[in-house]
Amino acid sequence: MEWRLFRNGWKRRSLAQDRVPNRCHIKTGFILLLALTFLLSIIVYISDFSLKSAAAPDTLYETVVNQIPSYYVTESASSIDNQTMFSAPTPINNQQRATQNNSEHHHVAHPLNYYFTLDEPDICKQRNPFLVLMVPVAPYEVKARNAIRSTWGNETTVQGKAVLTLFLVGLTVGADSEKAQQQLEEESRQHRDLIQSNFVDSYFNLTIKTMVIMDWLATRCPQAYYSMKIDSDMFLNVDNLVTLLSAPNTPRENYITGVLMRNRFVVRNKNSKWYVSEELYPEPKYPTYLLGMGYVFSNDLPSKIVEASNYVKPFNIEDAYIGACLKQLGVEPSSPPEPSQFRIYMGQYKRENFLRAITTILGSPQQLIDIWKDVNKPM
């Protein structure tokens, strides 16, 4: 009890009488504070969701990032938030192999994130090839594959050495994807030369495509002496290539050759097809690399390149990315003994030029067929 002064004099008042209204005020204030906090949380959540939903990529860089949704994917991640990628990347081989990888993260481009939907796992055991020609090609490019099958891809024995040609494709997307997949499966049954992996086949996924090729060579065909990654629009003189690889001074290890690209600046123009941001590749120049249209390498390199990719952030210029992996390995690309044999374009057709060449770009599958017939006709 205490005494207090009121208008009509001093009176005694219980302290408990004062606490009752104070408690009411505290409870009311606390409830209002909770309600306000909850309301603000809802507003922030709705605003954040709306902004993320409304944001649309307006640069090529953002398009690239959407194709490679994050630079790294943890092994425990259950999904990738992008319709063009698979929500649960499965190791490309068995579970035991996946656990042998000690990296905390996998690159999105790392082949352990993918598996083969069409495969020829025993073909190298059956053929024991000296040289394997790996052709990355779009699923719908049936004419290109058939042109190669009827020309340089039909060269199975050259100078007494076994040569194997295989095509690697990704998955199609869109309304006709199911029909396209059925056609690929039928083509695979007919020719037994198709390999397919579960990445979306697109220009921005060429780095993934190339790394899957390297992994296939490392795991399915380690017995081959040499391999070549060659595009589907190329002329290839297999006889000249085997002559080069059979020469006594051609290395059997850490060897890669083709059209050398030295001191090439990274393209920073966002409107360019070859744009790469500083975040993806911070250096102003690429290390020396081989132009992706066609380069040949000793078959010890694929497994080493796959291992090196654990430490090299992926970017969307696939041939330059292989160059970055080679730099990580300390492997210097070699100039071919006769650089003129690896040609970008020939210009006006002259038969003697194609007789001397190893590779060059052509304009169409029909042109490949026509030139091949002329080059291989009796003298």
CATH 3.90.550 fits 95-375, yes or no: yes
Separation of CA 18 from chain center: 73
Taking a C-beta distance cutoff of 8 angstroms, is the pair 368, 235 a contact?
Answer: yes
pLDDT in tens, 146-180: 999 999 999 999 999 999 999 999 999 888 899 99
DSSP SS3 for 68: coil
Angle among Cα 151, 228, 95 to the nearest 5 degrees reads 120
Give the C-alpha separation, 77 to 90, whole Å.
11
Predicted pLDDT of residue 93: 39
* pLDDT, block means (10 residues), the chain with 379 residues: 44 44 51 61 46 35 33 27 30 34 53 93 97 97 98 98 98 90 97 97 94 98 98 98 98 98 97 94 97 98 97 95 98 97 94 97 97 93
Could you state, in order of their start, the residue ranges of all structural domains in the chain? 2-54, 95-375
CA dihedral 212, 217, 218, 223 (to 10 degrees): 180
